[in-house]
Structure 1
Amino acid sequence: MKAYPQIDALLDQTENAQRCAHSSDPLIQKGLYRRYRAGDLARPYPGLFARAEYWNQLNEPEQSLHAARTLSRLHPNWVFAGITAAAAHGFDHPRFLHRQGLTITLPNHGSYRPHDKLNIIYSPYPRENAVLANGIHVTNPPRTLLDCGRTLEFIYSLPIFDDAAADGIEEKQILQECARTTLDCSRIFKLLRYTDAGSENGGESFARAVMIENGFAVPQLQVSFADSLTGKQFRVDFLWRTTDGRIIVGELDGTAKYVDPKMTDRRSIQETVQAEREREQALFRAGVTEIVRLTFDDAVQQKPLIAKLRCAGVPCVS
């Protein structure tokens, strides 16, 4: 295969700019395609290329943003929306949602026919209202939330709304965006009802959304307890208080809690487990009657989470 120094220079340049490679030079573009056919390059979208090794080390939101930055240069009038805009704004969300492709907004169907990796929200959104985020022209935060809330399931949207609230996006801004459109905002009203800026991360938001969807009472978040023996403060992920006076705590665990040095303070697994036991004992001394340990996989599969909460007697709403 012929070596084209221009291709390597282009790939270096676009990697540094966190974009994909594309060239208006037919020879360069053909050379990129040949290297893609040989397995050296990835082709995330027609006409867009990246070194396979470099591309595969990116997570899904990063891949989407690389492609969007490139397409934004090729199509200056496009405004990216939905989950692509959520990634550009930095809102927490499930990464797998990017497997559906990039999302843009257009005023009407017209004659444009998208390929299968480009989703279109057909709704008027003036180009002048777009904002620049992460190098891409995207819908503003309220409109991004509106589009995500309307097109995604509640359990996937709530983490985005929680994180946006923590970033200072107010409910009134989202309601004003609803009022400016002719779109059905009934799903948005439900999301706003349950949005909580106190959620510590997307995993907790997702688990809480699963709880809500399955009829459990909405938990309090990040409640602190003082150990009656030591006076040390402990925060819990989820808390329910029952009518008969019980206090039920839900803790969302992850493997990183036991193996990530940043989360374990470089303690051994045994030391970390012992610290968790001491923490549980402190919570019981503080008046907690039941501790339910949950994992993110429990929430994804739903049935294990439901079974654990029911077994612990977590109240349901009528």
Structure 2
Amino acid sequence: MESNEAVLVLASRRRVLTGDSRALSRGYRNGTLVRVRTGVYFGKSAWLALKPWERYGTTMAAMAAVDPSTTFCYLTALRIWRLPAPGVPTHVHVITLSPHKAGKQPSSTTAARDAKTRKTGIEHISGYGISRHFWRADSVHSRGFSVTSLPQTVMDCIVRLELPDAVALADAVLSPDRRPGEGLTRRQLIDASADLPSEAKRRRIECVLALADETSESVGESRSRAIIHVLGLPAPVLQRVFHDHDGFIARTDFFWPDAGVIGEFDGDAKYLDESLLSGRTTQEAILAEKKREDRLRALGYKVVRWDWKTLATPDLLRQRLAAAGVVPQKTPPRGRDPRA
């Protein structure tokens, strides 16, 4: 987000520097510039090259550049606090002080139409509208933005997100790996929930915290654990370490000792992200994973793997685990004490 703001061009700043901003209007008309917001421009070729999250962050920066008092909230605030969100939001979420201004507006990001083709060139990519919320705003400044405080942001999202996304958010903010000032404890979350306006919302926080685990190592693991709970399956042992006669084999994502089943979530980054490959090629990482799994199977365990596509259809995960012997419990599974 920070780097994108540097390449935004504001008509107001151009007028101060040069006394004239008509060159921006000409650039817009001839198709070299995109108008991200009124009076804020971005190079069209650069705009097309951005990934969706980058365009979203640039749109946020454009809004803040036009009105520095803009306070971001809800899913947009998660982006600023570097917490996991369920995909790129369709709108930039902001606080309004007037109930009459609350509501959604469509994207105002535009590009001029080509005189011959009548196309703008940005039809195939998403623009982001504005969603204004008339909420209490406990705001702070972070990374150059006015944003709802970390406790409020987490509360606002947990009570509105689906359970797997809410658990992934709780896991992330509880993680001991968070930077100073960007993490929360269970006690802090419980205390923050006391200010929620309804008992139902307070119960929601307790439910999510009962399932949360700060040792989770990825969003995929967190979502998997929540879906396993929703499916009524027994709670797995997390991060179990296995050895054989040659020594350490692995620390697995999930383990059901009664069924002798090991569960592993496989995200693409495991085989494609250079920071996770530790100097290996993708082929070497896949071969090492196969040997690791062979050693686990040699100990007598069954190994079940799933990915993001499987999580998108929970019944597929249920079927795979059931085939290995992990079946629903007769009594509903319970999470941990949220205050622990």
Using structure 2 for the length normalisation, give the TM-score: 0.75
Identity of aligned residues (%): 26
Task: Please tell me whether the aligned partners of residues 4 and 58 of structure 2 are also in contact (alpha carbons under 8 angstroms).
Answer: no
Q: Deviation of residue 19 (structure 1)?
A: 6.3
Task: Please tell me whether the aligned partners of residues 108 and 124 of structure 1 are also in contact (alpha carbons under 8 angstroms).
Answer: no
Correspondence for 1:97: 88
SS at 1:216's partner residue?
Answer: coil
Distance in structure 2 (CA, Å) of the matches to 1:312 and 1:110:
55
1:205 aligns with 2:222: yes
For residue 254 of structure 1, what is the amino acid of its counterpart?
G
Task: Please tell me whether the aligned partners of residues 83 and 169 of structure 2 are also in contact (alpha carbons under 8 angstroms).
Answer: yes
Task: Please tell me whether the aligned partners of residues 240 and 253 of structure 2 are also in contact (alpha carbons under 8 angstroms).
Answer: yes
Correspondence for 2:318: 306
Q: After the TM superposition, which of the residue ranges 160-169 and 39-48 deviates more from structure 2?
A: 39-48
Pick closer, same or farther for the CA change 1:190–1:20 going to 2, 3 Å.
Answer: farther
Q: Deviation of residue 241 (structure 1)?
A: 2.5
Q: More helix per residue: 1 or 2?
A: 1
Distance in structure 2 (CA, Å) of the matches to 1:124 and 1:262:
40
- 1:1-318 alignment, distance < 5 Å: 17-18=5-6, 20-24=8-12, 31-32=23-24, 35-36=27-28, 38-94=30-86, 96-98=87-89, 100-111=90-101, 114-116=104-106, 117-125=129-137, 129-166=138-175, 167=178, 168-183=183-198, 184-185=200-201, 186-226=203-243, 228-242=244-258, 246-267=259-280, 270-285=283-298, 287=299, 289-317=301-329, 318=331
Q: Indicate the structure whose relative CO is greater, using CA pairs within 8 Å and at least 6 residues apart.
A: 2
Pick closer, same or farther for the CA change 1:174–1:261 going to 2, 3 Å.
Answer: closer
1:131-166 residue CA offsets vs partner (Å, 9 max, x unmatched): 222211111111111111122222222222211110
Task: Please tell me whether the aligned partners of residues 266 and 307 of structure 2 are also in contact (alpha carbons under 8 angstroms).
Answer: yes
Pick closer, same or farther for the CA change 1:111–1:275 going to 2, 3 Å.
Answer: closer
Task: Please tell me whether the aligned partners of residues 237 and 254 of structure 2 are also in contact (alpha carbons under 8 angstroms).
Answer: yes
Instruction: Name structure 2 gaps, 5 residues minimum.
Output: 107-128, 332-340
RMSD over aligned Cα atoms: 2.9
Number of equivalences: 295
Distance in structure 1 (CA, Å) of the matches to 2:11 and 2:233:
54
For residue 275 of structure 1, what is the amino acid of its counterpart?
A
Task: Please tell me whether the aligned partners of residues 20 and 67 of structure 1 are also in contact (alpha carbons under 8 angstroms).
Answer: no
Distance in structure 2 (CA, Å) of the matches to 1:157 and 1:105:
21
Using structure 1 for the length normalisation, give the TM-score: 0.80
Distance in structure 1 (CA, Å) of the matches to 2:78 and 2:190:
18
